[in-house]
Structure 1
Amino acid sequence: MTQDPTPCTEDNESPFEPPATSAAVHGSPTREAIEAFFEHGGGAAFWDAGFYGIHGYLVGVASATSWPPQQAWLDDLLGASEERHDSAEAIAKALVTLYDEIHEQIHVEGVIALPQGCEFGDDPLGNFYPAPVGSWARGLGYAREAFGNILWDLMLSPVSAEALEEASLPDEFGDGDEDLDALINMNMMCLDLFSDRAEAEFIWASVGVDDPERELHNAARIAQQHFHDALHLLVGIGQTYGEADDLFEDADNSKARLSWPRQPARSSKVGRNEPCPCGSGRKHKRCCGDPRDK
């Protein structure tokens, strides 16, 4: 059973702090090993979101509708086993240690603590990638593209009313489909917005508003204000429905759609911000690489 949403402080600091023994705090051997590889070592050649992005990615893996096997997400981050060099095996162990901690937080404790130092700045527009929260959001997005996400799949699939009722959604959202769609869209916006400012600017400019910059600032302010509530809902639903087929009325179609791997996170493939190879002129992540189109 999910816990009641915990209110955030006025400056939107996370109500959940990583314990001193966490792999996500500064100075932990696990964090130092991951930072050394993905920020300064060989991983920096294909990973652009640093340690915060790795943490967001693993939150995405742990909250996917159907958990991918460990080898699938390790191969997505590091390449197939036969392509790895010797030092990558030590990095793989560090990644598994961090994943195990995140998985336990989501599915046992029902909360998630962002890594130490992953905090919002005062200016909402200053939180876009490569700021800490923006990097975390970018990693979460990479995992969604590769393995799906419970919120995305709520939008893509017919939902069992009985199963959804058990998710303990906030009281301000009713039982109707419109309320559910509003909830999911708001939560996805809060968790996704800061991952790519150029993409956000393009979206606001394309909808024909009079002052796109002002509207983007308002969206960033709202996303910052509700970010931890959105994360709490993601964790709560993930905790309730970890690998549960009863969330979907058509489990067979759900499983077919959720087969992995999807778009790899490693940039040796078509990059999420590169033009789509289909020739549409759109970014790959907003065209053939968008899981909502699958």
Structure 2
Amino acid sequence: MIVAAIALMSGEFGSDQPWIKWVLSGAFSILLVIIISNWISNFKWSGFQKKSFWDWLQLLIVPLMLAFAAFYLNYVSETRDKQIAEDRKQQELLKDYFSKMQTLILAEKTLPKSNNKPTGSPSLDQDKSLLSQASQDIARALTLAVLDELDGPRKGKVITYLAESNLINKPKPEIKLDRANLQDIVLQDVDMGGVKINKADMTRANLTDVSLINADLTLSIFSSATLQKVNFSGATLDKSNFYNTKLKNITISTSSKFQNVCYSEGTKFENTEDDKNQITWLKLTDFQNPNTNSRITKTDRWCKPTEQNLGQSK
């Protein structure tokens, strides 16, 4: 008990799980009341022989409530301070990334044209490139590193910036984001048409009013994501994972590729008629092309791509 009390007072115990500290504090306080009440009741001169545990608890309820209130206010204050510090850190990371990317692009523009081309005969695509091969490697490293650190909304800002700058677009993106950490990414009302990001982890992503027309997202993971008003017309999502994904008002075309896509059992696609605001539910057979092969499974384990598939490049 003494060890637990010291740990609670030091604030080191249960710092990662505050509820443990609250439970132990309450138990420690009640135990302390029991010990003190029993000890004092042994003395006749105290006049407390007839006081029961509940009498003592009623007597000390106000101090206990004040103590818990102090604990709670301190916890709220610490949580708010941590959130503010984390938000400031995230914003600084984003600003630093944009600054470095802008520096790379401006440096390329100031170089003589001949120095901005790889050795050999330049192609038309190379002439149009914003970044040289060396700068592309640097930009890729910067982008993958910052995506590992940022939260969902700020990841969305990074990807939107790259798409609008035509740095991750087909047929040969200047910045290859294969296997990028896009977990929890938030994208809303953006045009991502023609982007190429293979094997991206978009677990728990939230996409609303997003155009992914002619995009290549082969072998990507959308597990537990929410996709609403997403246009996949002409998009390639072969061997992607849509396990436990919420799909509403999804648009596809006859050229959309969903070969060997994995869905959870019972997956349906919710569609709302704009004129009547009526909701209809489409089965997989209604949603996809008749010649599309799909894996429908009860567990996410069967949706994970094999090492052989991961080794393939599109």
- Into which bin does the TM-score normalised by the smaller protein fall? under 0.3
TM-score (norm 2): 0.24
Higher relative strand content: 2
Higher relative helix content: 1
Of structures 1 and 2, the one scoring higher in RCO (CA 8 A, sep 6+) is: 1
Structure showing greater radius of gyration is: 2
TM-score (norm 1): 0.25
